[in-house]
Structure 1
Amino acid sequence: MPLSPPVERTCLHNRKYDFQGYQRADGLWDIEGRIVDTKTYAFANQDRGEIPAGEALHDMSIRLTIDEDFKVHDIEAVTDFSPFRLCPDITPNFKRMIGAEIKTGWTQQVRRQLGGVEGCTHLVDLLIAMATVAFQTLYPVRAATAAKRPPGQRPGLLETCHAFASDSPIVKRSWPDFYTGEE
């Protein structure tokens, strides 16, 4: 269902996120993300001069390399366009995430390592969003592992979202032994 029709308005800002997930030949996985911000009008910028309408104010990318257990083996962050010349200087800090695991607490871990002056708000937001892309990319592998789950072992997806609430019809259908809703 689409959003309701808006009142008359003028678009001023566009933000585009783009994500891809790749299986690598060496058994690892690459999750790539990109954020691009543009304005619909030209404006002055102290570091770049005039930025024309449609030219990127921000154009930043991350490649996150992980294994099947979601452990970070490598990360590369780049800033191709930013409002300030010094913005790209912070990208090496993203290497701090090597060794981290995408799991409960990922957002807090990213913010602890790269929040505030230790990172870039735009790259941090991108990296946080990449966690769900990682799960979607590795879904076939994780599903095969889950299918081999011993009887009685709690499914990993249980209680991770509204659809997988223990009292939902999805859980009743998929994992009836863990269903807590009314019969």
Structure 2
Amino acid sequence: MQPTGKGEYSFEARLTDRAFGGDYGGPSDTVIHDIEITGRLRGPELTVVSLTVTPHELPYRTCPTVAPAAAALVGASLRSGWRKTVLAHLGGAKGCTHMTTLLLGLAEITTQVIFLEMNSTTECTRESRTDGRWLDRSLEVEPNLLDVCFSLRRDSPVMIPVLDRRSSMGNKDES
């Protein structure tokens, strides 16, 4: 993911898998899937404004015919309903498992954008992570980060000091 302007980003992702040892019926190192996705996002909702799926290598001649279906994702938001939208257009027999997996993974771009926003005012250093300033900023940027994973759960040793600090400073407690 690369910032290209205020609230605009470009991205590229690639999934390549290989068969080793000849079990696929070919040489000992056969590429089975090689799919590349590029595109652009805009705005706070990270709306997809362009998306190109390039199937470089796929196992069956019918596989590449699924790639154009990804165009239906233009206009969708990575921050809201992305998984449901991808599966509605490319899930199951409507799509390619590998392409769908790669597209679902684009949701992780939101984490990168949040990281950039956090760092714009509070640099990610050992000190800012240790004293909680950096995570405090994260909750200002994205309050929904609380409870998204094991380390960011409200009762974790990482988040308890941050929430205590926010509470003692009169900030809105997220608990």
Bucket of the pairwise TM-score, normalised by the shorter protein? 0.7 to 0.9
Match of 1:158 in 2: 146
Match of 1:80 in 2: 56
Instruction: Give the direction of change, closer, same or farther, for the CA distance of 1:68–1:175 in structure 2 (3 Å limit).
Output: farther
Match of 2:71 in 1: 95
Match of 2:107 in 1: 131
Determine which of 28, 34, 46 is the counterpart of 1:59.
34
Residue 163 of structure 2 is aligned to residue 175 of structure 1:
yes
Output the CA distance in 2 between the equivalents of 1:156 and 1:85.
43
* Structure 1 runs not aligned, ≥5 long: 1-20, 45-49
Which has the higher relative contact order, 1 or 2, with Cα contacts under 8 A spaced 6 or more apart? 1
TM-score, normalised to structure 1, is 0.70
> Tell me, what secondary structure is at the counterpart of 1:51?
coil
> Tell me, what secondary structure is at the counterpart of 1:24?
strand
Task: Answer 1 or 2: which has greater helix percent.
Answer: 2
Residue identity opposite 2:156 in structure 1: S
TM-score, normalised to structure 2, is 0.72
* Structure 2 runs not aligned, ≥5 long: 122-135, 168-172
RMSD over aligned CA atoms reads: 2.9
Output the CA distance in 2 between the equivalents of 1:162 and 1:62.
30
Instruction: Give the superposition deviation at 1:162.
Output: 1.9
Percent identical residues: 24
Aligned residues: 152
Instruction: Give the direction of change, closer, same or farther, for the CA distance of 1:25–1:155 in structure 2 (3 Å limit).
Output: closer
> Tell me, what secondary structure is at the counterpart of 2:52?
strand
